[in-house]
Homo-oligomer: A and B are copies of this chain.
Amino acid sequence: MSRIYDRVALIGLGLIASSMFWAIKRAGLAGEVTGYARSEATRETARRIGLCDRVCDSAREAVEGADLVVLCVPVGAMGAVAEEIAPVLKPGATVTDVGSVKRDVIQSVHPHIPPGVHFVPAHPLAGTEHSGPESGFAELFDNRWCLLVPVEGTDPDAVARLRALWEGMGSNVDEMEADHHDLVLAVTSHTPHLIAYTMVGVADDLRRVTDSEVIKYSAAGFRDFTRIAASDPTMWRDVFLTNKDATLEILGRFTEELFALQRAIRTGNGELLHDYFTRTRAIRRGIIDAGQDTDAPDFGRAKAKS
């Protein structure tokens, strides 16, 4: 794989940024990768484990001379970081991000991008329950989608180059409009996360009553929920605050459907339940057929990891 950018700057060194670093190195996609994290402890960890070719003590220092700047901070912090680095952005450079919400990031970052610098928002659909600089691994993006959400009038070459980077890191890449992205993610990711958080919270209530039995006998459904609900609290707070409209719309549909099933249970309508469960099973098959998951007991993750 040939080099795509001479210098890449990663701002924020959590799961996504650290995985990007290892994926970039795996394929030789950049000459030098600089990194910056707000927390000194994170920067020290990064230096200790060899994360980034050079860890800098300020965002500006990391960004200077970079051809690509990747904002890997929580969505709510994107605007302030963009404002801070704007004066040192190299002419012709591209700024991108990895935030889970796109309309809000565009609104808060775009005004700070100087003329002559490209802005190409992006969102890799990949993650684990872990966070921080030590959680990354080169295979995180393999065969996962990365959605590019270019704003109107963006230089097609800048978009093509960023696409090549993501493909080099193992991703499949598509382009999507910002509002549509936020709606699709509200249903596939944001609302499911909120629901998982809620269910785990309810169990915690019950746990007080039953002496940790809920944890001890945690069965399949609940274990999956706790894994989802273990994701980074700051990141998810920002997702819900910035993708408010789409999340609330999908939540409205969700409670409507839930009440229908609840009523079927109360009235003993087994036919409705059976039909509903049969339909959702078919959807699962569609996801496996679309290659976004496997039906292996380990969900294909052992292979992706090692």
Q: What residues make up the interface of A, taking CB atoms closer than 8 Å to B? A: 76, 125-130, 145, 147, 174, 180, 183-185, 187-207, 210, 212-231, 233-234, 236-238, 240-241, 244, 247-248, 250-251, 253-255, 257-258, 261-262, 265-266, 268, 270, 273-274, 276-281, 283-287, 290, 292-293, 295, 297-299, 301-302, 304-305
CA gap between A200 and B293 in the complex, in Å: 15
When distances are taken between beta carbons in the complex, the residues of chain B under 8 Å from A251 are: 258, 262
Name the distance in Å between A189's Cβ and chain B's nearest Cβ: 4
Name the distance in Å between A118's Cβ and chain B's nearest Cβ: 24
Question: When the two chains form their complex, are residues A268 and B286 in contact, meaning their CB atoms are under 8 A apart?
Answer: no
Question: When the two chains form their complex, are residues B241 and A265 in contact, meaning their CB atoms are under 8 A apart?
Answer: yes
Question: When the two chains form their complex, are residues B202 and A187 in contact, meaning their CB atoms are under 8 A apart?
Answer: yes
When distances are taken between beta carbons in the complex, the residues of chain B under 8 Å from A76 are: 270
Q: Mind listing 5 A-B residue pairs with CB under 8 Å?
A: A201-B257, A215-B287, A220-B228, A226-B283, A244-B265
Question: When the two chains form their complex, are residues A130 and B295 in contact, meaning their CB atoms are under 8 A apart?
Answer: yes
Select A276's contact among B197, B247, B281, beta carbons within 8 Å. Answer: B197
In the complex, besides A185-B219, A204-B279, 5 extra interface pairs with C-beta distance below 8 angstroms are A192-B222, A218-B292, A233-B274, A248-B262, A251-B262
